[in-house]
């Protein structure tokens, strides 16, 4: 057995074990964990045929041939359901969602005649197989590619909405960001982009080349998906910000706010930020700021969005950047490290601090501090 097949087999074992763990874990969002567990198991089963064929083990285990093919139809639905379960409080799995399984079930039914063949018959068909001539490669694989791309596009849209919502509610999002899910979906899309390229090459007459040199690319990418996703799904905390709540959205959109009241709220907000410095609390939420400024949270959100042209996340981080600039210039803070000053200003992530600082100051914190230190002697 070569090392690539060994890695793929380890990935299959990892995916199945992690999937079982996610299916049985009792803490957190159990439904979401179960869907992620099914996705992990689908990843694992979908690539079982590759090491069998590459290493010739299909002669020992012929009844595993083509078992994994239909599971590619589950990637898209399970990814989308997982995203919705993680981002929408009101989302519930219903019977209508079973319609997502129709392509998977239809393909399984279409393969039943093959599954019912004897082991010897399957081995004979496999030995007579010529790359590029199968029904699966000609019709099913392109359909699976379109299917996954469509689901991925919808899932990306759902994640973008979630990211927008958390930036309207939280000032620090590193621990609640679902960027790992975006990365996972991107990896799955990459798998199907590779499948698309391999299909095009097969169609152009390079089927034998694809079978010889491209056979391990897809299962290796799927293995990467399994290694990187399971632990993140368990580790990341659950945060809902009204993704499915029409009432919360309506309260914002229908809130009446006169010009005079808006001006008063804006003045009160800026005074609160200036004198109380709530932004130094790294866990500050819009609810916390609403309580400190005695402004209803839906009005506060509207003031920040419409009067200041920012979301809550950027609004707070702008103040934190200004606070770090003030602290950099403070004589008693000269011995403090950059990250210590950033934390004092309310940042709890070095990468977020560096990104925000460069966004508002057009230079890195180190460059700004060096420039400030060069300026200071001449001003004394």
What secondary structure, in 3-state letters, does 273-292 show? HHHCCHHHCCCCEHHHHHHH
Predicted pLDDT of residue 231 = 64
Output the CA angle 3-9-12, nearest 5 degrees: 145
Q: Are 328 and 341 in contact (CB under 8 A)?
A: yes
The whole-number pLDDT of residue 379 equals: 44
Per-residue pLDDT of the chain in tens (380 residues, 90 and over written 9):
577 888 888 889 989 999 998 899 877 778 888 999 999 999 999 988 887 776 677 788 888 888 999 999 999 999 999 999 988 888 888 899 999 999 999 999 999 999 999 988 988 887 776 655 565 666 788 889 999 999 999 999 999 999 888 888 888 777 777 888 999 999 999 988 888 888 777 777 776 676 666 667 888 888 888 887 766 666 665 545 544 444 444 454 555 678 889 899 999 999 999 999 999 999 999 999 999 999 998 899 889 998 999 999 999 999 999 999 999 999 888 889 999 999 999 999 899 999 999 999 999 999 999 888 776 554 44
Residue boundaries of the structural domains of the chain: 3-235, 246-379
Tokens of 13: 């074992």
For 340-363, write each residue's pLDDT tens digit: 999 999 999 899 999 999 999 999
Nearest to 257 by CA among 269, 249, 266: 266
Tokens of 316: 């707070």
Q: Please, what CATH class does the domain formed by 246-379 belong to? A: mainly alpha
113-139 pLDDT tens trace: 999 999 889 888 877 766 555 656 667
Is the dihedral angle over the CA atoms 292, 298, 304, 307 positive or is it negative? negative
Task: Please provide residue 94's backbone torsions phi and psi, each rounded to the nearest 5 degrees.
Answer: -125, 170
Q: Are 153 and 202 in contact (CB under 8 A)?
A: no
Count of H-run helices and E-run strands, the chain? 19, 0
Whether pTM > 0.85 for this model: the answer is no
Joined together, the tokens standing for residue 100 give: 């997502």
Largest CA distance in the chain: 92
Which pLDDT does position 338 carry in this prediction? 94
Per-residue model confidence (pLDDT) at position 207: 67
DSSP 303: I
Taken as a whole, the chain contains a residue count of 380
CATH architecture of 3-235: Up-down Bundle (1.20)
pLDDT of residue 167: 86
Give me the residues paired with residue 170 across strands.
285
Q: Which tens digit of pLDDT belongs to each residue from 60-87?
A: 888 888 899 999 999 999 999 999 998 8
The answer to whether 338 touches 369, Cβ cutoff 8 Å, is yes
Mean pLDDT, rounded, of the chain = 84
Segments in 55-118 forming alpha helices (H)? 72-87, 102-115
């Amino acid at each position: 057995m070569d090392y690539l097949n060994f890695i793929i087999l380890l990935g299959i074992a990892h995916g199945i074990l992690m999937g079982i763990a996610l299916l049985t874990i009792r803490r957190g969002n159990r439904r979401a964990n179960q869907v992620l567990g099914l996705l992990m198991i689908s990843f694992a089963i979908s690539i079982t045929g590759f090491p069998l064929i590459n290493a010739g083990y299909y002669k020992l285990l012929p009844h595993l041939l083509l078992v994994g093919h239909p599971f590619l139809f589950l990637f898209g639905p399970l990814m989308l359901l997982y995203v919705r379960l993680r981002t929408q409080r009101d989302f519930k799995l219903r019977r209508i969602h079973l319609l997502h399984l129709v392509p998977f079930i239809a393909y399984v039914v279409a393969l039943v005649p093959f599954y019912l063949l004897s082991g010897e018959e399957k081995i004979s068909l496999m030995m007579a197989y010529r790359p590029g001539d199968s029904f699966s490669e000609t019709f099913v694989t392109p359909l699976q590619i379109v299917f996954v791309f469509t689901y991925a596009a919808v899932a990306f849209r759902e994640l973008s909405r979630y990211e927008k919502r958390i930036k309207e509610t939280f000032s620090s999002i590193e621990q609640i960001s679902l960027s790992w899910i975006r990365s996972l979906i991107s990896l799955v899309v990459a798998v199907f982009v590779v499948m698309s390229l391999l299909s095009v090459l097969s169609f152009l007459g390079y089927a034998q080349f694809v079978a010889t040199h491209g056979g391990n690319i897809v299962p290796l990418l799927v293995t990467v998906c399994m290694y990187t996703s399971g632990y993140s799904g368990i580790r990341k905390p659950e945060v809902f910000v009204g993704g499915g709540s029409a009432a919360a959205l309506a309260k914002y959109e229908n809130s009446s706010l006169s010009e005079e009241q808006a001006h008063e709220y804006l003045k009160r907000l800026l005074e609160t930020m200036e004198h109380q410095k709530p932004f130094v609390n790294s866990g500050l939420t819009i609810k916390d700021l609403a309580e400190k400024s005695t402004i209803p949270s839906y009005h506060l959100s509207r003031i920040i969005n419409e009067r200041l042209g920012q979301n809550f996340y950027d609004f707070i981080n702008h103040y934190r950047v200004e606070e770090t600039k003030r602290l950099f210039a403070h004589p008693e803070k000269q011995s403090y490290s950059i990250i210590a000053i950033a934390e004092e200003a309310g940042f709890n992530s070095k990468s977020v601090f560096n990104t925000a600082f460069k966004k508002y100051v057009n230079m890195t914190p180190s460059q700004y501090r060096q420039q400030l230190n060069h300026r200071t002697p001449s001003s004394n």
